[in-house]
């Protein structure tokens, strides 16, 4: 029987009230159901799980997957045989389709991430319902913030990627298209525009809620502290990058607002939410989250993991099961002082910093996401890594695709980066071509943007 959005919302509220045992029971049952569905409907999982028991409630029995292997087997991975990689690629290549339903039934989101492999993710309605329900479980904002929300009619500013099929862009765009009245209360502010223009537009919009990547919100906090940005949001939502307690404290002070943070991924947009003590609480009724060592063995609470394995228990069209997310995390060994019964983690592996350059009048900072937005769409670029080796020098490591003209690809990359730097007042920065390919970090990840080391 298919669960309705109302059923899911009701169960999400009930689960935390019933406590850890009830959360664990839901997780086991949903994992078993997802594994059974994947085996029945996905040729990839049918092959991968052929030697497993008929029913699986223990995630440790499952083989580990990752983005590269799943993308290589895309057509066998999806459970809806009408969905193909070729069709999804054509869909995301058309910017006019952002916010539209793929094949009339699914959302589609792209990711560039830090793994060096572009992901294409198809998201079903059940996942959207779970995402909405879990978002409502994070709690209230307090009476003072509630008054500011009402005073600004709940207007939400989403400071995120330029137009594209990114999750943070595509889902709000879909809501606005399908529910036009939402356009009055929700507006996207692309980060590719010059900072003074962005500040002026936010001042005019006067949002009640501001959400975006932590690095960009930190940049806006500086504008607010300098008096150029003059907004009074009730809530600031920081995501996309690891939020330290110090960073969240600065946002709260700059905007005089309640600050929320989230640790998530396009593969599982509802994974966790942050608390006031700087921990992320994992929604374990709808996700399995396993901190493990380099051999994928469990890491005890209180010790940093080598990576973490994720199972999304909602998305049936494209099952994510025991998926190597690539982040190093630390699971809290004792109850969180905030009182939340959900497990609490800190994330060590997401440190996508702004690239900052000196200019004649001071400094300019550029979000790392802008580089991905530019370069991901260039023909011939299979993988890139931009390393700031000096205050005004960027070294670009490229891996080109099979059959691509390396020289032509480099010229296109160089031109796009030069244009981006010039648009942001950093035209004096030198971009040089590296002889070596992109390099892995000690933790095994490919950081796409590596800022200049401090000190």
Highest mean pLDDT among 69-73, 110-114, 115-119, 451-455: 69-73
User: Judging by DSSP bridges, how do beta strands 235-239 and 393-400 pair with one another?
Assistant: unpaired
pLDDT, average across residues 100-123: 81
Query: Does domain 5-132+263-351 bear CATH number 2.40.30.10?
Result: no
CATH class for domain 354-450? alpha beta
Question: How distant, in Å, are the alpha carbons of 51, 103, 234, 290, 320 from that of 277?
Answer: 44, 43, 19, 22, 30
Q: Which residues pair with 236 in a beta bridge?
A: 210, 259
- Give the start-to-end residue ranges of the domains of the chain: 5-132+263-351, 139-261, 354-450
Residue 67: what pLDDT? 92
> Domain 139-261 is in which class?
alpha beta
Which tokens in the block code for residue 10? 């009701």
| Cα–Cα distance, 413 to 448 (Å, whole number) | 14
Mean pLDDT value across residues 118-136: 90
What percentage of the chain exceeds 90 in pLDDT? 51
- pLDDT higher at 368 or 390: 390
78 burial level (CB within 10 Å; 0-12, 13-18, 19+): buried
Arithmetic mean of pLDDT, 429-439: 92
The secondary structure of 248-276 as a DSSP string is HHHHHHHHTSEEEE---BTTBTTSEEE-T
Q: Please indicate, yes or no, whether the overall pTM of this predicted structure exceeds 0.85.
A: no
| Rg from Cα positions in the chain | 22
On the 0-12 / 13-18 / 19+ scale of CB atoms within 10 A, 421 is buried
Give yes or no for residue 441 having a pLDDT over 60: no
Question: CB within 8 A of 60, min separation 6: which ones?
Answer: 290, 298
The pLDDT tens digits of the residues spanning 323-334 come to 998 888 899 999
Q: Does 139-261 match 5-132+263-351 at the fold level?
A: yes
Please report which helix (H) or strand (E) contains residue 401, including its range: none
Query: Which pLDDT score is estimated for 25?
Result: 97
Measured between its terminal Cα atoms, the distance across the chain in Å is: 59
Distances in Å between the Cα of 122 and the Cα atoms of 33, 77, 78, 119, 140 are 19, 11, 9, 10, 31
Confidence category of residue 427, pLDDT binned at 50, 70, 90:
confident
C-alpha closest to that of 318 among 264, 266, 270? 266
**What average pLDDT does the segment 429-454 reach?**
76
The predicted-structure confidence for 279-295, as pLDDT tens digits, reads as follows 899 999 999 999 999 89
pLDDT band (50, 70, 90) for residue 116: low
């Amino acid at each position: 029987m298919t669960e309705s959005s109302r059923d899911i919302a009701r169960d999400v509220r009930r689960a935390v009230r019933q406590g850890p045992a009830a959360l664990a029971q839901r997780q086991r049952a949903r994992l078993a159901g997802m594994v059974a569905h994947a085996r029945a409907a996905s040729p990839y999982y049918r092959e991968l799980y052929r030697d497993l028991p008929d029913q699986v409630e223990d995630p440790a029995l499952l083989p580990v997957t990752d983005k590269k292997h799943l993308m290589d087997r895309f057509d066998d991975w999806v459970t809806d045989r009408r969905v193909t990689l070729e069709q999804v690629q054509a869909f995301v290549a058309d910017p006019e389709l952002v916010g539209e339903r793929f094949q009339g039934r699914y959302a589609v989101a792209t990711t560039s991430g830090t793994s060096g492999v572009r992901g294409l993710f198809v998201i079903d309605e059940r996942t959207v319902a779970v995402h909405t329900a879990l978002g409502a479980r994070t709690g209230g904002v307090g009476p003072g913030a509630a008054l500011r929300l009402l005073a600004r009619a709940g207007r939400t500013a989403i400071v995120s990627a330029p137009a594209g099929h990114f999750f943070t862009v595509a889902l709000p765009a879909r809501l606005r298209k399908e529910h036009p009245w939402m356009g009055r209360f929700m507006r996207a502010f692309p980060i590719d525009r010059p900072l003074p223009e962005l500040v002026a537009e936010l001042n005019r919009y006067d949002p009640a809620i501001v959400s975006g990547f932590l690095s960009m919100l930190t940049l806006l906090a500086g504008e607010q502290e300098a008096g150029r940005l003059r907004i009074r949001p009730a809530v600031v939502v920081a995501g996309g990058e690891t939020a330290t307690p110090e960073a969240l404290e600065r946002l709260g002070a700059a905007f005089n607002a309640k600050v929320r943070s989230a640790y998530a991924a396009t593969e599982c947009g509802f994974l966790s939410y942050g608390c006031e003590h700087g921990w992320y609480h994992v929604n374990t009724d709808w996700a399995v989250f396993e901190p493990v060592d380099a051999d994928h063995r469990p890491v005890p609470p209180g010790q940093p993991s080598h990576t973490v394995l994720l199972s999304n228990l909602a998305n049936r069209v494209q099952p994510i099961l025991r998926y190597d997310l690539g982040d190093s995390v630390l699971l809290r060994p004792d109850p969180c002082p905030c009182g939340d019964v959900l497990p609490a983690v800190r994330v060590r592996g997401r440190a996508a910093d702004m690239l900052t350059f000196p200019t004649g009048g001071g400094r300019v900072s550029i979000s790392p996401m802008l580089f991905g937005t530019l370069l991901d769409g260039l023909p011939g670029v299979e993988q890139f890594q931009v390393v700031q080796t000096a205050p005004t020098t960027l070294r670009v490591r490229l891996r080109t695709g099979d059959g691509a003209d390396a020289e032509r690809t480099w010229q296109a990359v160089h031109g796009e980066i030069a244009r981006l730097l010039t648009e942001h007042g950093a035209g004096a920065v030198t971009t040089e071509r590296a002889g070596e390919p992109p390099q892995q970090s000690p933790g095994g990840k490919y950081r796409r943007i590596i800022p200049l080391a401090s000190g």
